[in-house]
Chain A
């Protein structure tokens, strides 16, 4: 049985929006965005948002809910995602390696069907929406494997339909240019300007403690059940190069130094990591305010 994380990083976009309003920032870059639902919130409230991440599925989802202003999925298009299309050739055993370990045989077949169907969608926006919707089904199944008697049995296609519809509710335009890119933190910082930089530093060796719901979905998107995060992050700033404490500190300091270009820097952390992060931020910026609404959510706000 796979272990699902007890704690989840809490990024509150409503709180970040309040900070942006207070400092008059109209655009924001998050170079380590993860699942970009917070960027979607900020976009819907008029902020021009830009995000980057190493994992491709996060970027694809960003194309669905951050870059995409208009595209949603009509009923027949959802139908073409959730069920097998007659005449299409499917690699039904693509995820057989997960069968009996994480998922049932039926679930593995559906993962294969969805893998092919999503790749046949017509636009990046639709693809992003479908990936996010189906990811929620994937999470539901993993959770249900842990608590089989506590959650209802729902047919895969019904659950997929429900979640894709849930996901596309978030599509909206803010009449601004919003972007996402697949790149490492430093490249994103070099290529994109904004009024504010949001940075939620991952813990050292975060790769080894990543939530399976995150890395397994990248494996699904890559069509490779043997995918590992170490491989994806091999040549990145927070990959193997930052595994020892000194290298990790140097990586953080490097980012904070590069962030000097941004008029407003918001570093999101929590109580347990504040002692490690705060000195680095204060070393990089002269004016730093600590805003701590609760222990799980602490923002170091640096201005020029």
Chain B
């Protein structure tokens, strides 16, 4: 099941993949926190630039940038944000206060990134006057690198940079130390509130301490738990990989499919509607296509993962050409996407049928077979069913 094994001999390729998977982790955090696409990249770039203005130790600047990237990973699995969360507002707010600490634990467990990143993430939401969270640190007890992250957050969230400037000035002495607010204003006017685009500080990573394939699996597991479908990606990965081998796919096709199997769920993070619908009915197809687009967008700009983007993008296409978003049919749909769509549907139907009373139950195999030729490629259906049997 291990991914990216063939790169293990080449440290440069391994490092490329690691940086892409970490960047992807940051984007997944944004999606779970319901933030705009690219938020973490902008926050990382601004945080580094503001950290210079705050006289943060030069050795910590790259850690600040990585902390900006990973700022929201603690949102994954947060009880206030998980699918079907119905916490009262007061409790949901308290749960959200734990996001930085959860993020710190996630960062601390990633051996490849510097240790300092975890604490920068942990204290990014503290306030100068002690009313922040989670630790309610106050005054100079809050480390300055975390303050840089908090200021960058304000800037990226604002509709206009001037809006951030006004709110930071207004909160000097409350959320922000007066000296930090002053330094921010100076930076704002000198830089025009612009920063160099984020460039991953690769030199401070320890690639020997984290395997990108393991990291991708960890991300998929967290996304599944967040969406209330624990283990889904691993099931789909097993089915898809087994089917691809039966169909004689190439090593490159299988590698792209593995990534796609672990990444497709991320497209649902911004909207948790999909798992409540039968995957074989047309109702909800538009939604599934939107999830496919969103999932593909998260992968498309990351060279190590980009091969999976077209597969994720086409997972809501139907074999007869009536699917979404492009209405592709037959061989115009990449083989990996055909396998992925069938494996996802099998997994969903299998869980659904197991939960129904036996008398009303059609097996997952029967239902999938019924959709061969319309929704799914008949050859792929046979392969998926064989792969499922082999696994049982």
Chain A residues within CB distance 8 Å of chain B? 4-14, 18, 35, 37-38, 40-41, 44, 136, 139-140, 143-144, 147, 150-152, 163, 166-167, 169-170, 172, 293-294, 296
* Known pairs A14-B134, A38-B135; A143 contacts B94 (CB<8 A): no
Contact with A along B61-96 (1 / 0, CB 8 A): 000000000000000000000000000001001100
Q: How far is the CA of A151 from the CA of B172 in the complex (A)?
A: 5
* Residue of A8, A11, A140 touching B174 (CB-CB under 8 A): A140
Give every chain A residue within 8 A of B93 (Cβ-Cβ). 169
Q: How far is the CA of A9 from the CA of B137 in the complex (A)?
A: 9
* Known pairs A14-B135, A150-B182; A139 contacts B129 (CB<8 A): yes
Contacts A/B (CB < 8 Å), 10 sampled: A6-B140, A7-B140, A8-B141, A14-B135, A41-B136, A136-B130, A150-B178, A151-B173, A163-B129, A172-B94
Contact with A along B116-139 (1 / 0, CB 8 A): 000100100000011100111111
Chain A: minimal CB distance from B28 (Å): 22
Give the nearest-CB partner of A213 in chain B: B139
Does A143 contact B137, Cβ atoms closer than 8 Å? no
- Max chain B C-beta neighbours (<10 A), residue from A13, A151, A172: A151
Does B136 contact A8, Cβ atoms closer than 8 Å? no
Does B172 contact A166, Cβ atoms closer than 8 Å? no
Does A293 contact B119, Cβ atoms closer than 8 Å? yes
Q: Does B380 contact A (CB under 8 A)?
A: no
Chain B: minimal CB distance from A35 (Å): 8
Chain B: minimal CB distance from A151 (Å): 4
Q: How far is the CA of A18 from the CA of B181 in the complex (A)?
A: 32
Q: How far is the CA of A304 from the CA of B283 in the complex (A)?
A: 62
Does A150 contact B137, Cβ atoms closer than 8 Å? no
Does B178 contact A8, Cβ atoms closer than 8 Å? no
Q: How far is the CA of A139 from the CA of B138 in the complex (A)?
A: 11
Does B170 contact A147, Cβ atoms closer than 8 Å? no
Q: Does B388 contact A (CB under 8 A)?
A: no
Give the nearest-CB partner of B100 in chain A: A14
* Known pairs A10-B141, A14-B101; A152 contacts B178 (CB<8 A): no
Q: How far is the CA of A260 from the CA of B112 in the complex (A)?
A: 40
Given A8-B141, A13-B136, 16 more pairs with CB closer than 8 A: A4-B139, A8-B137, A8-B139, A10-B137, A13-B134, A14-B122, A18-B105, A35-B130, A40-B136, A140-B173, A147-B178, A150-B181, A151-B172, A152-B169, A152-B173, A169-B93
Give the nearest-CB partner of A17 in chain B: B101
Q: How far is the CA of A107 from the CA of B140 in the complex (A)?
A: 25
Q: Does B384 contact A (CB under 8 A)?
A: no
Q: How far is the CA of A14 from the CA of B141 in the complex (A)?
A: 14
Does B178 contact A143, Cβ atoms closer than 8 Å? yes
Chain B: minimal CB distance from A114 (Å): 17
Give every chain B residue within 8 A of A167 (Cβ-Cβ). 131
* Known pairs A139-B129, A140-B129; A41 contacts B94 (CB<8 A): no
Among all A-B residue pairs, the 3 with the closest Cβ atoms: A151-B173, A150-B178, A8-B141
Q: Does B104 contact A (CB under 8 A)?
A: yes
Does B94 contact A44, Cβ atoms closer than 8 Å? yes
Chain A: minimal CB distance from B117 (Å): 12
Does B136 contact A37, Cβ atoms closer than 8 Å? yes
Q: How far is the CA of A140 from the CA of B130 in the complex (A)?
A: 11
Give every chain B residue within 8 A of A41 (Cβ-Cβ). 134-136
Give the nearest-CB partner of B131 in chain A: A166
Q: How far is the CA of A150 from the CA of B173 in the complex (A)?
A: 8
Chain B: minimal CB distance from A159 (Å): 9
Q: How far is the CA of A7 from the CA of B94 in the complex (A)?
A: 28
Give every chain A residue within 8 A of B182 (Cβ-Cβ). 150
| Chain B residues within 8 Å of chain A by Cβ, number | 28
Give every chain A residue within 8 A of B139 (Cβ-Cβ). 4-5, 8
Q: How far is the CA of A14 from the CA of B137 in the complex (A)?
A: 11
Q: How far is the CA of A132 from the CA of B134 in the complex (A)?
A: 17
* Residue of B105, B122, B172 touching A150 (CB-CB under 8 A): B172
* Residue of A5, A9, A136 touching B129 (CB-CB under 8 A): A136
Does B172 contact A8, Cβ atoms closer than 8 Å? no
Does A13 contact B173, Cβ atoms closer than 8 Å? no
Does B173 contact A147, Cβ atoms closer than 8 Å? yes
Does A9 contact B94, Cβ atoms closer than 8 Å? no
Give the nearest-CB partner of A169 in chain B: B93
Does B135 contact A8, Cβ atoms closer than 8 Å? no
Q: How far is the CA of A152 from the CA of B178 in the complex (A)?
A: 10
Does B173 contact A12, Cβ atoms closer than 8 Å? no
Give the nearest-CB partner of B138 in chain A: A8
Does B173 contact A144, Cβ atoms closer than 8 Å? yes
Give every chain A residue within 8 A of B122 (Cβ-Cβ). 12, 14
Q: How far is the CA of A44 from the CA of B134 in the complex (A)?
A: 11
Chain B: minimal CB distance from A28 (Å): 15
Give every chain B residue within 8 A of A136 (Cβ-Cβ). 129-131
Does B174 contact A12, Cβ atoms closer than 8 Å? no
Does A151 contact B134, Cβ atoms closer than 8 Å? no
Give every chain B residue within 8 A of A35 (Cβ-Cβ). 130
Give the nearest-CB partner of A139 in chain B: B129
Give the nearest-CB partner of B135 in chain A: A12
- Max chain B C-beta neighbours (<10 A), residue from A4, A12, A152: A12
* Known pairs A14-B104, A294-B119; A152 contacts B170 (CB<8 A): yes
Q: How far is the CA of A37 from the CA of B137 in the complex (A)?
A: 9
Give the nearest-CB partner of B118 in chain A: A293
* Known pairs A14-B122, A152-B172; A37 contacts B178 (CB<8 A): no
Give the nearest-CB partner of A293 in chain B: B119
Q: How far is the CA of A5 from the CA of B138 in the complex (A)?
A: 12
Chain B: minimal CB distance from A73 (Å): 14
Chain A: minimal CB distance from B41 (Å): 26
Give every chain A residue within 8 A of B94 (Cβ-Cβ). 44, 169, 172
Give every chain B residue within 8 A of A170 (Cβ-Cβ). 136
Q: How far is the CA of A152 from the CA of B172 in the complex (A)?
A: 7
Q: How far is the CA of A35 from the CA of B94 in the complex (A)?
A: 20
Does A143 contact B134, Cβ atoms closer than 8 Å? no
Does A143 contact B140, Cβ atoms closer than 8 Å? no
Does A37 contact B130, Cβ atoms closer than 8 Å? yes
Give every chain A residue within 8 A of B169 (Cβ-Cβ). 152
Does A13 contact B119, Cβ atoms closer than 8 Å? no
